[in-house]
Amino acid sequence: MAQSLWFLFIITNLVFSAYADQLQRFEHPTKTHDSLSFLVLGDWGRRGDFNQSQVALQMGRIGEKLDIDFVVSTGDNFYEDGLTGENDSNFEESFSNIYTANSLQKQWYSVLGNHDYRGDVLAQLSPFLRKIDSRWLCLRSFIVDTELAEIFFVDTTPFVKMYFTNEAGHKYDWRGINSRKAYISNLLKDLDLALKESTAKWKIVIGHHAIRSIGHHGDTQELIKHILPLLKIYGVDFYMNGHDHCLEHISDTESPIEFLTSGAGSKAWRGDINEKNRGGLKFMYDGQGFMSVQLNHTQAEIVFYDVFGQVLHRFNKLKQLHSSI
């Protein structure tokens, strides 16, 4: 008896360890199976201030027009310091009561930003928030699989060494991350495996921090070192992020990757744009706004909008219809 229990224990452990590390996956079948559209917003939760409400209004309008499937948040969801707990009224004041348009009553997929780590980090990840507002889904790293596209959400804050050395003088809630090194190396292993196995036509990686940006924070060296090589090896089409409070499009000069920043959900106009002559720079707007993504089997269309819903920049990326995956 004891022996068979022990055997069961070993088997369970083996199964558990084989799967425990893998990224959680959400299947999100699209309306038609042939196309997908979603909005991308970052750096937003300020109780409607700094044009957050104006951006929300235009997202509602464009969301309706494009009949979006969901919304993606690139992090820094709640300012200044994330949520204080799962009952923090900032959740409703900055999310539920702001994004009220019909078209935005869809699933929201969110990652954490550095500001979110300054509060009770577990609060935003808590299923309790989904009871308050069922649209909310925020996890550290996970995959949304729409068949046409696979979207890999990556928790980038722990990559940034500066936050651990307290240079900026802020306190971070690192619960769940006992060792930065082990956390990053596990995450990279999982991401590598997931990208390797992906057969989706479009591969998109989402993180809070920019790999390439000419805004205030600029490039994130840790991501250039650890994430960029994976994007290149596995033919990722787009890397999308927030963190810099602007809208940007930079084409990689060495690969087909397009770097897209959508971090303009509220406070913007910082006014410190660097390297205006950066190679591959296609577009940079220092004010508020958001981005839309439309995909089908042959092309992707990316559009950036300002607080009036006016199109600031638009581009297409083509795929061969019959190219092997």
Ligand X SMILES: *[C@@H]1O[C@H](CO)[C@@H](O)[C@H](O)[C@H]1NC(C)=O
Find where tokens 């205030």 sit: 216
User: Does position 38 bind ligand X by CB under 6 A?
Assistant: no
Nearest residue relative to Zn ion (C-beta): 243
Q: Which x/- pattern over 39-58 shows residues binding ligand X (rule: CB under 6 A)?
A: -----------xx-------
**Residue 28 marked as a ligand binder:** no
User: Does position 149 bind ligand X by CB under 6 A?
Assistant: no
Q: How far apart are CA 138 and CA 24, in angstroms?
A: 12
Which one is catalytic: 216, 217, 297, 313? 217
Residues 220-259 binding ligand X (CB under 6 A) are none
Cβ(98)–Cβ(64) under 8 Å? no
List the Cα angle 114/116/121 in 5-degree steps. 115
User: Does position 245 bind Zn ion by CB under 5 A?
Assistant: no
Q: Which x/- pattern over 100-129 shows residues binding Zn ion (rule: CB under 5 A)?
A: -------------xx---------------
Cβ(227)–Cβ(241) under 8 Å? no
Nearest residue relative to ligand X (C-beta): 296
- # of chain residues touching ligand X (CB under 6 A): 15
**Residue 79 marked as a ligand binder:** yes
Q: Residues 28, 216, 297, 317: which binds ligand X (CB under 6 A)?
A: 297
Residue 246: name the closest of 313, 301, 294, 300 by CA. Answer: 313
Cβ(59)–Cβ(307) under 8 Å? no
**Residue 90 marked as a ligand binder:** no
At its nearest, how many Å lie between ligand X and the CB of residue 243? Answer: 18
Q: How large is the greatest C-alpha to C-alpha distance in the chain, in angstroms?
A: 72
User: Does position 298 bind ligand X by CB under 6 A?
Assistant: yes
Cβ(83)–Cβ(45) under 8 Å? no
SS3 category, 230: helix
**Residue 76 marked as a ligand binder:** yes
Q: Which is nearer to ligand X, 89 or 274 (CB)?
A: 89
At its nearest, how many Å lie between ligand X and the CB of residue 54? Answer: 6
**CA distances, 152 to each of 18, 77, 134, 191, 289 (Å):** 20, 18, 21, 8, 23
Contacted entry of ligand X, Zn ion, none for residue 113, CB cut-off 5 to 8 Å set by kind: Zn ion
Outline where DSSP puts E strands in the chain.
24-27, 35-41, 70-73, 107-110, 136-138, 142-145, 149-154, 202-207, 238-241, 247-251, 258-262, 281-285, 290-296, 299-305, 311-318
Q: Which is nearer to ligand X, 83 or 194 (CB)?
A: 83
217 part of the active site: yes
Q: Which x/- pattern over 83-102 shows residues binding ligand X (rule: CB under 6 A)?
A: --xxx---------------
Residues 3-32 binding ligand X (CB under 6 A) are none
Q: How far apart are CA 134 and CA 31, in angstroms?
A: 20
Binding region for ligand X (CB under 6 A)? 34, 50-51, 85-87, 268-269, 287-288, 296-299, 307
Binding region for Zn ion (CB under 5 A)? 76, 113-114, 243
